Structure formats: structure tokens, C-alpha cells
Structure 1
Amino acid sequence: MAEENDENMQAVMGLIINGGNAKSSAFEAIAAAKKGDFDTAAAKLKEADGFLVDAHNSQTKMLTAEASGEHAQVTLLMVHSQDHLMTAITFRDLAGEIVDLYKALAEK
């Protein structure tokens, strides 16, 4: 039981850490685009995507365990981690649009 809780906590922390890193990278992409550095902006968006893949892998572990009958206790931390991930995904999507907008403005 303690091992399951440790694995669950690792997955939860994976969501929080990787979600936060993805959001930070996406924000750095916007900052780079604002300065006209579109190569850095693209690299930061790609970096954000990598963090989101890592977060998704943590989430998949949790979902797989649940589907296998290992029901985790839903805690505020778990709910927070899911919220953190969804916010990061939304922010990444929006950052991509903002980078594209800055790029279009720079080309005019």
C-alpha cells in the first residue's frame, strides 16, 4: 500500500512539475517572439511540448493503475495536479497562437 502511495505521489508531482515547466517554457516563447527571436520562440514551444509529453506519461500511469483496479485516494494535491496540467496545456496552445501573431506582425 505504501508503495502504491509513493508511485501515485510521484505521478502527481510529475504532473505538477512538468506542467509548470511547460507553462514556463511557453511563456519564454512568447517573450522571445515579442523580441522578434522566432527561432528561440519555436525552440521554447518545442521544449514546452516535451514537458507536456512527460506530464502526460505521468497521467497515463495514474489512469492505467485506475483501470487495473488500483483505485487511488483522490486528494486535493491530485486535483491540483490535474488542474495544473490542464492550465499548462491551455497556456501552451495560446502561446503558440501568440507567437504566430508576433511572427505575422513582424512579416508585415
Structure 2
Amino acid sequence: METNEYIVFQIISAVGSARSSYIEAIQEAKKSNFEQAKNLMKEGAETFIQGHKAHAELISKEANGEKVEVSLLLAHAEDQLMSAEGFKVIAEEFISLYERISGK
């Protein structure tokens, strides 16, 4: 597997895990498990950073003159990255609302 493909798969894997953590955090907040929800948000953020760093590596390569082929896999990775980022914002809002509803 080429280096750039490996990086793309790193992005997909990391941000997919992050998005899953954000979704689990919403589910835990719904059950009033706010401490667990916050732990999952933190875990998701840490995992997301790994994907973001991998993405930045591809950007740096291109900025340094190395050709980075735009492929369906790269487009998918970037879509997943943006999706995970959106889920983070949504999860933060849901957790806040569930906390307000529960009075905590």
C-alpha cells in the first residue's frame, strides 16, 4: 500500500472512531450518565486529533511540492473528517440539553 493510501486509511479509522465516541456520548447523556458522556467526548476528541494530524500530513506533503492524488478514498476520508467534526458539535449540544433537562 502506498504511503498516501495508508495516511488516508489512518484518517478514516481515527475520525470514524471519534464519531462513534460522540454518538455513544449522546446515548450516555440520554441515560443521565453525564460523567461517562464527558469521558467519551474527551476520548473522541483525542482520537479526532489523530485523524486531523494525518490529514495535515497530506496537506504538508502537497505544500512541499509532493503530488497528492485526489481519489475517492481521500474524498471519503475528508467527508468522514467533516462529519465527525459536525457530530462533535451536535453531541456537545445534546449533552448540554440533557443536563439541563435533568437539572444537573
Give the TM-score, by structure 1 length. Answer: 0.92
* TM alignment of 1:1-108, pairs within 5 A: 6-107=2-103
How far, CA to CA, are the matches of 1:10 and 1:58 in structure 2?
Answer: 10
1:56 deviation in Å?
A: 0.7
Give the TM-score, by structure 2 length. Answer: 0.96
Report the secondary structure of 1:70's partner residue: coil
How far, CA to CA, are the matches of 1:37 and 1:96 in structure 2?
Answer: 14
Report the secondary structure of 2:68's partner residue: coil
Structure 1 gaps of 5+ residues are none
Structure 1 outlier segments of 4+, above 3 Å: none
How far, CA to CA, are the matches of 1:15 and 1:82 in structure 2?
Answer: 8
1:94 deviation in Å?
A: 0.6
Aligned-pair identity (%): 35
What RMSD in Å do the two structures reach over aligned CA positions? 1.2
1:48 deviation in Å?
A: 0.7
Q: State the one-letter code of the partner of 1:54.
A: Q
How far, CA to CA, are the matches of 1:81 and 1:94 in structure 2?
Answer: 20
